[in-house]
Structure 1
Amino acid sequence: MAVVGWHASHEQISPSRLLEDVRYAEDVGFEAVWSSDHFSPWSVRQGESGFAFSWLGAAMATTALPFGVVNAPGQRYHPAIVAQAMATLAEMFPGRLSVALGTGEFSNEHITGERWPDKQARNARLRECVDVIRALLAGDEVTHHGHVHVDRARLWTLPERPPRLLATAVSEATARLAGEWAEGLITIWQPEDTLRKLIDGFRGNGGEGKPLALQVHVSWAPDEEEALRIAHEQWRTNVFEAPLCWDIATPEEFDLAAKHVRPEDMHGGVLISHDPKRFAGWLHEAIELGFDEIYLHHVGQEQRAFLDCFGEHVLPAVRA
């Protein structure tokens, strides 16, 4: 049976409120949590940007759930620091941490002042970071010079078992590369044909038998028009396809780019409805495609009514 988890959106909700929300998500029956990791939000309207690794320590200490977090090592984060953060959390909370590594977005990475590499270079940099992180988690002393530089780094605090390393991917090409190194794959809701190609690419290049996870953006409200209003108000800056979404620098620029996005345009990237049965049906479709873990991100800033509805109606329907 697929695991159904809740997504903690640091771009939209303050860390203290997210801490209350994650405890509530556990209470209503969500089985796992995924976390974003942004330096800035996608929109000025969202208005938050808590530090994910600080929050994870508090959230994992006050719940019993497994947690995952997206991370882009190589520019904003040095891979040795990522490995240290992962090792510390995994030592405190054995068997509960997963990290999905990706190539990042300019909106988060430009803060270092370094040049933003093209996608091919970012892919190569990520692969180097993966090797560095794996070696450090294995207890090795690492020196490395390439897209990233490491000088005699060693982790002195190690977990008994390293955390699970997944890859992020939204395209077949990236998923195929991920099959070579990742212990699993996480992607976002897309058309069925796109997801099938992505899954086949991952499985056909080393990912066979490895877990598949899916993040699903949803907007629920008791009224259909309200659900659509929430999606448009909070998430219209997230409708852009790659490479545009990778290369915009600031929340203000995202808001400018989204100036002409209409409410009806939201239905592609966000599942919008007032009917819990529709959401249960969508989740069954994802499970039938082969996803082992599904993380629901309600794109509104208020989470409690959504958590109540899905805990009472959607989660039992999916499990049945």
Structure 2
Amino acid sequence: MLKIGYHASHEQFSPSDLLRYAEIAEKSGFGLITSSDHFHPWSEIESHSGFAWSWLGAAMQAIHLEFGIITAPAPRYHPAIVAQAVATLNQMFDNRLWIAAGSGQALNENINGDFWPDKQTRNERLVESVSIMRRLWDGQEVTQYGHVNVVEARLYTLPTATPKVFGAALSEKTAGWLASWSDGLITVNHPQEKLQKLAAAYRAGNPSGELALKVQVSYAKDLKTAEKLAWENWRNNILGGETQAMLSHPKLFDEAASFVRIEDMKHHVILADGADALISALKKYIAMGFTRITLHNVNRDQIGFLELMRSAVLPSFQKV
């Protein structure tokens, strides 16, 4: 079943504002809420960094939709703690939460002061972490030594069903690799040819896995304003996957993104001055097989975006 979602960006808005926006999103006809999970924001300018797991408890009580959280189960957290958090929320809220697991970014994970490893090591740690979580959700007592150590851990409050774990990928290589251990793929909007290759690489290893997409958009009354607002609010987030994984502080992102041009944004963010661009993009992604599509309006005007979605975009997909 197709679900079109609203993305709650903790790096940009306070938790109380995000709760209000998510409540409006439910009333507007969205079928899904996704949440980021950051310790530091992308920029030091007009930023926030609320604790996503506290927010989820409040949001899932107030809003009766499916939720997804994009997180790294290690090393900022221990995977046993993430497993416990997910199990508790799903026991309380009818298994409405899934996670999208990634290998992490120094921006968030390196606050513990440990050596930041290479991508291969981070990937190995991610697979270990997901295995630990799944065994705990299954009620097993887990002891394991490796990139992550866990000793005699067992969850006494279990989820009502095994939570789904999506794998986060920005490249074909990563998409193909995570097909062996994830329930689905999640990525962000790329040019159509790249998205098709990502989806094909994943489906080659996991034909029944689900495809999820986080779509970055900038809505304003005219395209020039939409482009400018995207640049002002989201240019730090288009630096490339490995660069974003290695930079360890918001001020470094601000410095690195000082070379990003306004005209670069159209290659990474869908610019919209009305419903047509969003409807066209959604139809394209649906045709490619994506069934969970979350829209993230990267500029500050969340209310205007939500009203556009309610009145002119979501009604086109009510029977899809």
CA shift for structure 1 position 276: 1.1
- Identify the residue that residue 53 of structure 1 maps to in structure 2: 53
- Identify the residue that residue 286 of structure 1 maps to in structure 2: 285
**Letter of the aligned partner of 2:200 in structure 1?**
D
Structure 1 gap ranges (5+): none
| SS state at 2:259 partner | coil
> Percent identity, aligned pairs only?
46
- Identify the residue that residue 147 of structure 1 maps to in structure 2: 147
Q: TM-score, normalized by length of structure 2?
A: 0.97
Structure 2 gap ranges (5+): none
C-alpha distance in structure 2 between counterparts of 1:191 and 1:224, whole Å: 19
C-alpha distance in structure 1 between counterparts of 2:80 and 2:122, whole Å: 17
- 2:298 aligned with 1:311: no
Contact 1:90/1:162 (<8 A) preserved: no
- 2:122 aligned with 1:122: yes
Give RMSD over aligned pairs.
1.1
Deviant stretches of 4+, over 4 Å:
none
C-alpha distance in structure 1 between counterparts of 2:160 and 2:189, whole Å: 34
* Deviation readout 1:98-118 (Å, 9 max, x if unpaired): 111110111111101011110
**Letter of the aligned partner of 1:54 in structure 2?**
S
C-alpha distance in structure 2 between counterparts of 1:32 and 1:147, whole Å: 33
| SS state at 2:214 partner | strand
Contact 2:43/2:251 (<8 A) preserved: yes
- 2:10 aligned with 1:13: no
**Letter of the aligned partner of 1:265 in structure 2?**
D
- 2:245 aligned with 1:246: yes
| SS state at 1:157 partner | coil
CA shift for structure 1 position 260: 1.8
Contact 1:100/1:166 (<8 A) preserved: yes
- 2:88 aligned with 1:88: yes
C-alpha distance in structure 1 between counterparts of 2:318 and 2:270, whole Å: 20
- Identify the residue that residue 301 of structure 1 maps to in structure 2: 300
* Deviation readout 1:237-296 (Å, 9 max, x if unpaired): 011112111111111110000112111110111001202111110111111111011000
Contact 1:167/1:185 (<8 A) preserved: yes
C-alpha distance in structure 2 between counterparts of 1:153 and 1:46, whole Å: 40
- Identify the residue that residue 218 of structure 1 maps to in structure 2: 217
Contact 1:11/1:46 (<8 A) preserved: no
C-alpha distance in structure 1 between counterparts of 2:191 and 2:91, whole Å: 39
Q: TM-score, normalized by length of structure 1?
A: 0.97
- Identify the residue that residue 112 of structure 1 maps to in structure 2: 112
CA shift for structure 1 position 46: 3.9
C-alpha distance in structure 2 between counterparts of 1:226 and 1:249, whole Å: 31
- Identify the residue that residue 256 of structure 1 maps to in structure 2: 255
| SS state at 1:294 partner | strand
